[in-house]
Amino acid sequence: MQKSITLLMTLFIFSIVANAQNNQPNNYEKDWESVEKLELQGLPKSALELVESIYKKATKSGNQPQIIKSLLYKSKFALTVEEEAQLNVINDLNKEIATTKFPVKNILESILADLYWQYFQQNRWKFYNRTHTDEKVDSTDFRTWDLETLFAETQLHYEKSLENALLLQQEPLTKYDALLVLAENSKKYRPTLYDLLANRVLDFLKTDERNLNKPAYKFEIDNLNFLADNEQFTKLEIASKDSTSQELLALKLYKNLTLFHQRDTNPDALVAVTLDRLQFVKNKAVFNDVTTVYLQTLNQLKEQFKNNEVVTQIYYQIASQLNLEADQYNPKNGEDNRWKRKEALAICEEAIAKFPSSFGAENCKALTSSILTENINITHENYVPINKKSRLLVSYKNVEKLYFNLYPISQKEYAEFNTIYNDSARIEFIKKLKIHKQWNADLRNENDYQQHTSEVVIPELNSGHYLIYTSTKEGLNKDNSYAYGFLQATDLVLVENDIQTQNLYQVVNRNTGQPVANASVRLKNDVDRYDKPFDRTFVTDSKGFFEFNNNDYYYNITATVTHKNDKAFFGDYYLNRNYNRTKQSYNEGRIFLFTDRSIYRPGQTVHFKGIAVAMKDNKSTVITDKKVFVNLQDVNYQVVQSLEFKTNEFGSFSGQFVLPSSGLTGNFSINASGNTGFLSKKMNGYASFSVEEYKRPKFEVSFLPITETFKIDDSVTVTGNAKAFAGSTITDAKVVYRVYRTPQFSEWYWYRRPQYNYEEMEITHGETITDADGNFSIDFKAIPDLSISKESLPIFNYRITVDVTDINGETRSTSAQVNVGYHMLNATVVTEFMLNKKEKNHKIMVTTTNLNGQPVAAKGLLSIYKLQSPEHVLRKRPWEAPDYQLLSKKEFKEYFPHDAYTNEDDLYNRTKGNVVFSADVNTDKTTEVTLKNISKWTS
């Protein structure tokens, strides 16, 4: 633990404190030079003594920067020479804070808060496993605190660092040149000590890990004006019952910074804090069209500051947002977002032309370079047939032509190449190989600056192992964009059979599936001094099999299979199923789950949050951008509801489950699972809570059935009622409601749905009261998700949750759902998957309902088509069909008759043939249709 604290302090000093600057008095310069020499000589105790004398001198003369600097170096050296130093460092900082005055006190408060926070980040795994206590286990030892206590202390010291804000705003940062190492021109954007300390607080408030438990009145950034220009934003009243919300505190601090810098004659600092605020709100907001409003405000700012070079930073933010949206482009979803990168490029070019030497222009130049950068990657099958054409998939950006070289490579050369990690050395290695074949391929580039895919044919190959190299220019040069891969040309396949009691293998022909007799198979492992050697040769029988018993375990087995002129290598076999195959201790993953309370009533909403963390070498780090699947299980371990999330930049995700209003009460649980991304390591999480009636309920809440059919953008009204079990009405009860939206798709469309965001989103919330009859109404607009195309026929599910509290303080909860879409009717056809032609009177069930599942009479025509079968049996594609196919369908089928050209291997994409049956349908009269003459249908 002391090692980790030492590292934190060292990092802090080297990121904040510089060696004494030239404007310092010579006596300090010489003193610090002596300290540095003693440190380099490995004499920390002597260095500490000298730092103590510097501290006394600085204190006596009132040199504030030198006081702070000496305190930090005292802490650094104390960590090296003292027992329990990590605790002593914190205690010494607390003592200094108690005795020092403004502004040193403020700086030390910020340093202390940062040390607490860094300590948590290094040890989050331990904190997540600790149980919350009502009191500190040891108020003087921060290492024993629980998570909430450490968070609270960290936030408290950050807040104290901003005390006497008006005085901090008058402290120029230039006064602390001896203390700070600052980025170029940073004083323009953070000119005062207040700016520096306030932004350190904001860095803490922006993290997600503080808000692990959601109160019932959680503060949400749901007001469009939080993304408004400064005039509108500073007029907002920012308040909430959720007074500890980090989002709330951050917005208040942004407001204070904005009001402070609105008085500046130079707009640099104002624009910097405005852009930071807009970015923060965009990332945290829960209202619709966040990015649209964000870009509108940025364009307003661009116009406001058009004559000042700081405007180029606004240009850069607009271009960055467009570049980010361009990442959402998917050719399967049409043209949406395809040309956003081109727009971003034009905006960058305008900024550079306007103020070419500005900070924003430099950022735009870097973004422009990123957009224009060439990128290539190749994917191919590891094994291809002998003397037959094969193909590879090229993923590329900004490339019009590729040049390919193919080199035979021995197993020894292959192993040697895999030990080379330097680009130049790899190129030099490849230059020594003998070229076997060369060709090139023209790619389709429409200058949308997007990643695209195409398939390129690989010529026929003799049996052997090959390195395939491709680049954007001819020749071997490390400055070219290039990609490479390894493949083997062989007709042999080694199949491992899953039999527990013995090792059973079979060699078959790759093209025909026929067994290969009399093939020689050598199994050998690569050994080090800890491994057991294994080297045996077998010959396959008439059915291509060989087997052997093995009572020991071996790993990293390579199989060399030889039959006539064909030789192939297969690797990574293990000869004991119970052996743990992971030699090294790779990142262990875990999901920590938190709920907003430990006990709930039936029908209530469970708000939960998860943090995905990986652990290696006693250090923890959050797992970002990974899918997580979350299940709610009841007392019988039955899954009640399932949700899917993706972890954000802080490794977190959050959501809610609505508990069943009826059924068994008791211990419920939330289970989360996912993949860490580290060698397919799994991560799991678990949290349990009780579902009980706190006391016998005196009233119930219910929604009236929703019979009306609504359209997109309609005003939807749902009505509920609170009624006592004794029969009386519940009047003047407080009703707190929330409305959430989730996109859904009909089952028939599910297999071909585009990739959209399916996470639940809150669209409104509010309060009302019950009337004299115990009734209440909730109105909301059926706002769609405009990112989902109308053509995909989405159904938007609006889930309404209510908590009704009577005058005695008893609360009852329930929920209702309304489905709204661009269409008004759903038709469902149900039949057997397999129909026996010899049997008669097969029936098809046809039902028609509105989007809320209520029966609606409809007339139509039911038609059954025979699907056209492909000419050949098709194997599954090794990768998805490319955006741009370079081969015509005729050429493709000539080379690869058993592969799908696009997606014709998918049953749902088969072409319709002749109609074999049709009948009129009227669901008002009957929902059954009898199939006739099925015996005459072609199988």
Residues near 273 by beta carbon (within 8 Å), at least 6 away in sequence = 254, 257, 258, 261
Q: How far apart are CA 591 and CA 125, in angstroms?
A: 10
CA distances for 396 relative to 36, 326, 335, 473, 679, angstroms: 51, 15, 18, 14, 26
Residue 667, Cβ neighbours under 10 Å: how many? Answer: 12
pLDDT tier at 627 (50, 70, 90 boundaries)?
confident
Q: How far apart are CA 147 and CA 221, in angstroms?
A: 25
**pLDDT, tens digit, 9 for 90 and up, residues 287-346:** 778 999 999 999 999 999 999 999 999 999 999 999 999 998 988 877 889 999 999 999
Q: Which pTM was predicted?
A: 0.75
Residues in a beta bridge with 547:
504
Residue 920, Cβ neighbours under 10 Å: how many? Answer: 9
Region 234-254 average pLDDT = 89
Residues near 166 by beta carbon (within 8 Å), at least 6 away in sequence = none
Residue 257 has pLDDT above 70, yes or no: yes
Residue 113 has pLDDT above 50, yes or no: yes
DSSP conformation class of 208: S
Extract the runs of DSSP E, i.e. beta strands, from 757-794: 761-769, 775-781
Q: What pLDDT is stored for residue 589 in this prediction?
A: 80
pLDDT tier at 894 (50, 70, 90 boundaries)?
very high
If we measure between CA atoms, which residue out of 6, 15, 16 comes closest to residue 77?
A: 6
Question: What amino acid is encoded at 268 in this protein?
Answer: D
Q: Which of 206-220, 468-482, 513-527 has the lowest mean pLDDT?
A: 206-220
Mark 772-789 as b/e (b = at least 16 C-beta within 10 Å).
eebbbebebebbbbeebe
Q: What pLDDT is stored for residue 584 in this prediction?
A: 38
Q: What pLDDT is stored for residue 581 in this prediction?
A: 36
Q: What are phi and psi of 415, to 5 degrees?
A: -65, -40
pLDDT tier at 56 (50, 70, 90 boundaries)?
confident
**pLDDT, tens digit, 9 for 90 and up, residues 650-680:** 888 888 898 887 777 888 999 998 887 654 4
Q: How far apart are CA 909 and CA 901, in angstroms?
A: 12
If we measure between CA atoms, which residue out of 622, 674, 623, 669 comes closest to residue 644?
A: 674
What six digits make up the tokens of 64? 């504030």
More confident residue, 508 or 758: 508
**pLDDT, tens digit, 9 for 90 and up, residues 385-404:** 999 999 999 999 999 999 99
Region 566-586 average pLDDT = 58
**pLDDT, tens digit, 9 for 90 and up, residues 317-334:** 999 999 999 998 988 877
Q: What pLDDT is stored for residue 11 in this prediction?
A: 40
How do beta strands 682-691 and 599-600 pair?
parallel
**pLDDT, tens digit, 9 for 90 and up, residues 151-203:** 888 999 999 999 999 999 999 988 877 666 666 667 788 999 999 999 999 99
- The side-by-side arrangement of strands in the sheet containing 520-525 is 535-539, 520-525, 557-563, 566-573
Burial (CB count within 10 angstroms: exposed 0-12, middle 13-18, buried 19+), residue 578: exposed
Residues near 226 by beta carbon (within 8 Å), at least 6 away in sequence = 233, 236, 251, 281, 285
Residue 567 has pLDDT above 70, yes or no: yes
More confident residue, 746 or 717: 717
Q: Are 351 and 361 in contact (CB under 8 A)?
A: yes
pLDDT tier at 582 (50, 70, 90 boundaries)?
very low
DSSP conformation class of 711: B
699-824 CATH? 2.60.40.10
**pLDDT, tens digit, 9 for 90 and up, residues 593-626:** 888 888 888 888 898 988 888 866 556 778 888 8
pLDDT tier at 705 (50, 70, 90 boundaries)?
confident
Region 691-700 average pLDDT = 80
Overall fold of domain 492-573: Immunoglobulin-like (2.60.40)
**pLDDT, tens digit, 9 for 90 and up, residues 62-78:** 787 788 888 778 777 76
Q: What are phi and psi of 918, to 5 degrees?
A: -150, 150
Q: Are 764 and 708 in contact (CB under 8 A)?
A: no
Q: Are 749 and 820 in contact (CB under 8 A)?
A: no
Residue 845 has pLDDT above 50, yes or no: yes
Contacts for 853-857 with beta carbons within 8 Å, 24 or more apart? Answer: 853/819, 854/707, 855/923, 856/825, 856/923, 857/922, 857/923, 857/924
pLDDT tier at 578 (50, 70, 90 boundaries)?
very low
- The side-by-side arrangement of strands in the sheet containing 401-408 is 383-384, 482-489, 464-471, 401-408, 437-442
Residue 938 has pLDDT above 70, yes or no: yes
pLDDT tier at 583 (50, 70, 90 boundaries)?
very low
Q: CATH 2.60.40.10: does it fit domain 375-489?
A: yes
What six digits make up the tokens of 28? 């300090």
Q: What pLDDT is stored for residue 181 in this prediction?
A: 66
Which H or E run includes 90?
helix 85-99
Q: What pLDDT is stored for residue 497 in this prediction?
A: 77
Q: What pLDDT is stored for residue 517 in this prediction?
A: 96
Q: Are 465 and 486 in contact (CB under 8 A)?
A: yes
Orientation of helix 64-81 relative to helix 44-61, angle to 10°: 160
Residue 443 has pLDDT above 90, yes or no: yes
Domain boundaries, the chain: 206-304, 318-372, 375-489, 492-573, 597-691, 699-824, 827-936
Q: What is the mean pLDDT of the chain?
A: 84
Q: What pLDDT is stored for residue 682 in this prediction?
A: 79
Mark 60-84 as b/e (b = at least 16 C-beta within 10 Å).
eeebbbbbbbbbbbbbbbbbbebee
Q: How far apart are CA 591 and CA 833, in angstroms?
A: 40
pLDDT tier at 854 (50, 70, 90 boundaries)?
confident
At residue 715's C-alpha, the angle toward residues 714 and 721, to 5°, is 135
Q: How far apart are CA 25 and CA 61, in angstroms?
A: 12
What six digits make up the tokens of 417? 């190449």
Torsion of the alpha carbons at 48, 52, 55 and 57, rounded to the nearest 10: -130
Q: How far apart are CA 238 and CA 254, in angstroms?
A: 11
What six digits make up the tokens of 883? 């955006």
pLDDT tier at 23 (50, 70, 90 boundaries)?
very low
597-691 CATH? 2.60.40.1930
Q: Is there a shared CATH topology between the 492-573 domain and the 597-691 domain? A: yes
Residue 260: strand, helix, or coil: helix
Residue 520, Cβ neighbours under 10 Å: how many? Answer: 15
pLDDT tier at 382 (50, 70, 90 boundaries)?
very high
If we measure between CA atoms, which residue out of 515, 501, 590 comes closest to residue 547?
A: 501
